[in-house]
Amino acid sequence: MRNLNPQPLAAVREAARSKTPLGRPRDESIDAEVVAAVLQLLRKRGYGAVTIASVARKVKTARTSLYRRWPSKRHLVAYAVVSEMGAKPAADTGELRADLEAAVQTLLRAFAGPLGQALPGLVADMAQDPELAAIIREEVLAARRKSMREAFERAEVRGEIRKGFETELLLDMLTGPFYYRALFGHAPITARMARDVVTYIGRIVARGVRRVPAHARVPGDVETYRRD
């Protein structure tokens, strides 16, 4: 979670001395309630409805109490989203297609929930706060990408796919369409689409492809694209 909730200076000392800090302890239940409130507001009324005041009202606490825990609204929302979208266990079925399908299903579900609602506002906040951007990338995106990257690596080791791909680009082509559609809304995000993306990615990396020798070509076997 890193720097998202840097406020408890007392907690730092706590970790250092491994003792209970001093003074009145922080009400830990508030953290969870705030996260729940943010996610609910996000889902039901969108990013614009998430204000410090609206969250405080929902949790029945004071605005200033929230500012004691998070230095800004951005950090608050990021904390909530990261809490919800924490690292997921990476699927390892022994087959690339199934691994990727599992990963894509996770994306599908994520965009139906609060993350889908938060995405546009989150992206705008990230653009204005590089530190926040780094946190979101590392805590939300990196975990998902890592599991998919490893799926490709395992497939390569198994000899299931060919070698030498720009894996990062494959990841972007696999998941980029989801973000793209979620943010611009020009096309719906469907299970069918998720399936097709995986199929197409598979076509890129698949082995078992033989170049048809020139003498054996039939009309229509145009080979515009060089293959290696």
Partner DNA sequence: ACTTTACGCTACACCGTGTCGCGTATATAG
Partner DNA sequence: CTATATACGCGACACGGTGTAGCGTAAAGT
Q: Is the CB of 22 or the CB of 157 nearer to DNA?
A: 22
Q: Is the CB of 54 or the CB of 105 nearer to DNA?
A: 54
Residues that bind a second copy (CB under 8 A): 46-48, 95-97, 119-121, 123-124, 126-128, 133, 136-137, 141-142, 145, 158-160, 166, 168-170, 172-173, 175-177, 179-181, 183-187, 193, 196-197, 199-200, 202-204, 206-212, 217, 220-225, 227
Residue 92: which of a second copy, DNA, none does it interact with, CB under 5 to 8 A by kind?
none
CA end-to-end span of the chain: 43
Q: Is the CB of 59 or the CB of 81 nearer to a second copy?
A: 81
Please give the Cα distance from 82 to 4 (Å, whole number): 9
Token pair of 201, please?
């990615």
**How buried is residue 128: exposed, middle or buried, by Cβ count under 10 Å (0-12/13-18/19+)?**
exposed
Please give the Cα distance from 5 to 30 (Å, whole number): 13
Please give the Cα distance from 58 to 47 (Å, whole number): 15
Residues that bind DNA (CB under 7 A): 7-10, 19-27, 30, 50-53, 60-65, 67-69, 71-74
Residue 113: which of DNA, a second copy, none does it interact with, CB under 5 to 8 A by kind?
none
Pair 62, 91: CB distance under 8 Å: no
Q: Is the CB of 6 or the CB of 176 nearer to a second copy?
A: 176
Element (H, E) at 170: helix 167-184
